């Protein structure tokens, strides 16, 4: 287990927001640590009121399935019964939508970032950009 600091999380958020600005979209960005617990979050001016909670769920989903939420969303696409069960088993903490990006440090999970407010592809892109080094 690595230690994700607030400083790192805020750095990721800044990068995700910069990418969103470049794309001309307004998003919420949420960072969780390797245990799935919240570290930091920001909603850009003009982003929707529910985007913070969706962003959090996306970030948690990346941690829960140890993959980008885009990948697990793809696997769940035609399996509503399975998706439902996993959602309930998680206490409604997961969501099967792109935009949750897993960050690793070598082999270990370092944390995850969730982005919500734009298109699925754009959300995912902002997340990837945030953790790119």
Binder of its own copies out of 18, 22, 85, 132 (CB under 8 A):
85
Binding residues for its own copies restricted to 40-59, rule: CB under 8 A: 40-45, 48-50, 52-54, 56-57
Taking the C-alpha atoms of residue 133 and residue 130, their distance in angstroms, rounded to an integer, is: 8
* Identified binder of its own copies from the candidate list 16, 59, 97, 101, rule CB under 8 A: 97
- Residue 89 found at the interface with its own copies (CB under 8 A): yes
- For position 35 contacting its own copies by CB under 8 A, the verdict is yes
CB 125 within 8 A of CB 23: yes
Rounded alpha-carbon distances, angstroms, from residue 88 to 2, 73, 83, 94: 28, 16, 9, 9
Provide the minimum distance between the beta carbon of 101 and its own copies in the complex, in angstroms, as a whole number.
Answer: 16
Helices (H) and strands (E) in the chain, counts: 5, 4
* Shortest distance, position 108 Cβ to its own copies, whole Å: 9
Query: What number of CA atoms fall less than 13 Å from residue 83's CA on the CB side?
Result: 13
Q: Tokens 């850009």 sit at which residue?
A: 44
Per CB under 8 A, 105 contacts its own copies: no
What are the residues binding its own copies (CB under 8 A)?
Answer: 1-3, 5-6, 9-10, 28, 33-45, 48-50, 52-54, 56-57, 63-66, 73, 76-77, 79-97
């Amino acid at each position: 287990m690595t230690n994700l600091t607030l400083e790192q999380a805020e750095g990721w958020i800044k990068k995700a927001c910069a990418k969103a600005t470049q794309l001309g979209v307004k998003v919420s960005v949420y960072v969780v640590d390797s245990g799935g617990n919240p570290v930091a979050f920001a909603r850009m001016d003009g982003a929707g009121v529910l985007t913070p909670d969706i962003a959090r769920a996306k970030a948690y989903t990346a941690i829960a399935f140890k993959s980008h939420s885009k990948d697990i969303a793809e696997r769940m696409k035609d399996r509503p019964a399975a998706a439902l069960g996993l959602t309930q088993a998680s206490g409604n903490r997961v969501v099967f939508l792109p935009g949750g990006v897993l960050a690793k440090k070598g082999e270990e999970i370092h944390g995850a970032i969730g982005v919500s407010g734009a298109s699925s592809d754009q959300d995912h892109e902002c997340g990837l950009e945030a953790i790119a080094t």
